[in-house]
Amino acid sequence: MRDVAIIGVSQTKFGELWDISFRDMIVEAGMGSLKDANIEGKDLEAMYVGNMSAGLFVQQEHISSLIADHTGLVPIPCARVEAACASGGLALRNGIIAVASGYHDFVIAAGVEKMTDVVDPTPAIATASDQEWEAQQGVTFPSLYAMIAQRHMYEYGTTREQLAMFSVVNHKNGAKNPLAQFPFEVTVEQVLKSSTVADPLTLLDCSPISDGAAAIVLCPADMAKKYTDTPVYVKASTQASGTIALHDRKNLTTIDATVNAARNAYDMAGVGPKDIDAVEVHDCFSINGILAIEDLGFVEKGKGGVAVEEGMTELDGDLPVNPSGGLKSRGHPLGATGIAQAVEMVWQLRGEAGKRQIAGTEIGMTHNIGGTGGTAAVHILSV
């Protein structure tokens, strides 16, 4: 297997993008990544695109052909990758495997979702849960994560204020990100007093409905410096599965797919949690951010809320979490999220993250999950 490098990245602004279409977003991100990589479309050999549900959100299937067509990349192979909210992370993993195997040299891994073109996106999002046992019984993702939050609070004494603090840190970081959907700060009091969505979660505990796209250019590591002075190297790319439904799990407060993907990633990269300088975690809800830092091995199970309260996850803390603003502040266009996480980590490793730059970042991690943890993708990147 060959070592793999990232030589180009790009991301659109995330938000309610009324003036840009699904196809235009992916073109913007794709062309931006090619420019950043100093290559042309004719140099590419394949494309992998993460997308959860264009069929339900914009009534468009066969997006692999659509994207190859409108990016001007016909006839190269383009494949759509779907794993709910982890679609982007798995598209990146597929691209990495294609290059590592020697099958292709230059590959784009991208992600795109346009969620605001439907009146109510909830039914489309709910397809990522177990239809028979969850969605068709009226259970939504906020209520599933609310059950997890209640159990975590019961078992470990996690407080409502600690959940809110995770959102506060995200927004503090997102306020420094010009591409974020919500680039402004919030207070604990504002989180607590925002509208209840599913007790104990309020509106400001929940990631938004978002449009956006992101793209990454990959190539063999030994070719990378021909195209960029600042290549970023893929040290690990792992995927693990978990049960799709909560009722099949032994423990509601642990995402087993995250634990297993992280363990394999550390082994592959030859590092441990203490070696990670910054991490982008999948905080679709504030409780999932707390679960993530526990399940990735950064803190003991049950101590995530305390770690956030003590400032561990701040940009100047022992483990900066979500310098981009995370899903809560940067936004969460489902298929694009896993790619956007990696784009942010590349900017951090290059020293190009502006006001949110974490000094001395040499090893970064991204964590992308689908649904309530039925799929997890973990990547470790380094300079």
Choosing from 104, 332, 367, 379, the catalytic residue is: 332
Q: What percent of the chain has pLDDT over 90?
A: 100
Distance CA 112, CA 361 (A): 27
Q: Report the candidate in 175, 181, 160 with the shortest Cα–Cα distance to residue 113.
A: 181
What is the per-residue burial (b if ≥16 Cβ within 10 Å, else e) of 200-226? Answer: bbbebbbbbbbbbbbbbbbbbbeebee
Query: Phi and psi for 47 in degrees, rounded to 5?
Result: -140, 135
Predicted confidence at residue 11, as pLDDT, reads: 98
pLDDT at 281: 98
Name the pLDDT band for 181 (thresholds 50, 70, 90): very high
Q: Report the predicted TM-score, pTM, of the whole model to 2 decimal places.
A: 0.97
Nearest to 329 by CA among 168, 170, 169: 170
Angle between helices 286-295 and 256-269 (to 10 degrees): 40
pLDDT at 290: 98
Say which of 78, 85, 219, 284 is annotated catalytic: 85
Is 332 noted as a catalytic residue in this protein? yes
Angle of helix 286-295 relative to helix 141-156, nearest 10 degrees?
A: 60
Q: What is the pLDDT of residues 137-152, one digit of tens each?
A: 999 999 999 999 999 9
The pLDDT tens digits of the residues spanning 209-258 come to 999 999 999 999 999 999 999 999 999 999 999 999 999 999 999 999 99
Condensed to tens digits (0 to 9), the pLDDT of residues 319-357 reads 999 999 999 999 999 999 999 999 999 999 999 999 999
Bridge-based pairing of strands 363-370 and 278-280 is parallel
- What integer is the mean pLDDT of 275-281? 98
Average pLDDT, stretch 19-35? 96
HEC profile of 213-276: EEEEEEEEHHHHHHCCCCCEEEEEEEEEECCCCHHHCCCCCCCHHHHHHHHHHHHHHCCCHHHC
Phi, psi for residue 229 in degrees, rounded to 5: -85, -10
Instruction: Share the mean pLDDT of the chain.
Output: 97
Burial class (CB in 10 A: 0-12, 13-18, 19+), 310: middle
Q: Is the dihedral of CA 183, 116, 24, 27 positive or negative?
A: positive
Length of the chain equals 383
Q: What is the mean pLDDT of residues 38-61?
A: 96
Give SS3 for 316: coil
CATH topology assigned to domain 4-120+210-232: Peroxisomal Thiolase; Chain A, domain 1 (3.40.47)
For the record, the structure tokens of 355 come out as 């006001």
Q: Extract the runs of DSSP E, i.e. beta strands, from the chain.
A: 4-11, 46-50, 78-81, 107-114, 196-198, 201-202, 211-220, 232-241, 278-280, 363-370, 375-382
The residues, ordered by sequence, that sit 6+ positions from 62 with a Cβ below 8 Å of its Cβ are: none
Omega prior to 142 cis, within 30 of 0:
no
* The CATH number fitting domain 122-208+235-382, selected from 3.30.450.20, 3.40.47.10, 3.40.630.40, 3.30.920.30: 3.40.47.10
Q: What is the rounded average pLDDT of the residues 159-182?
A: 98
- The question of whether 104 is a catalytic residue gets the answer no
Q: 10-22: per-residue pLDDT in tens?
A: 999 999 999 999 9
Positions of CATH 3.40.47.10 in the chain: 4-120+210-232, 122-208+235-382
Contact 113, 57 (CB under 8 A): yes
Cα–Cα dist 121/56, whole Å = 8
Which residues in 161-231 belong to E strands, given as ranges?
Answer: 196-198, 201-202, 211-220
What's the confidence (pLDDT) of residue 83? Answer: 97
Q: Give the rounded distance of the alpha carbon of 243 from its chain centre.
A: 20
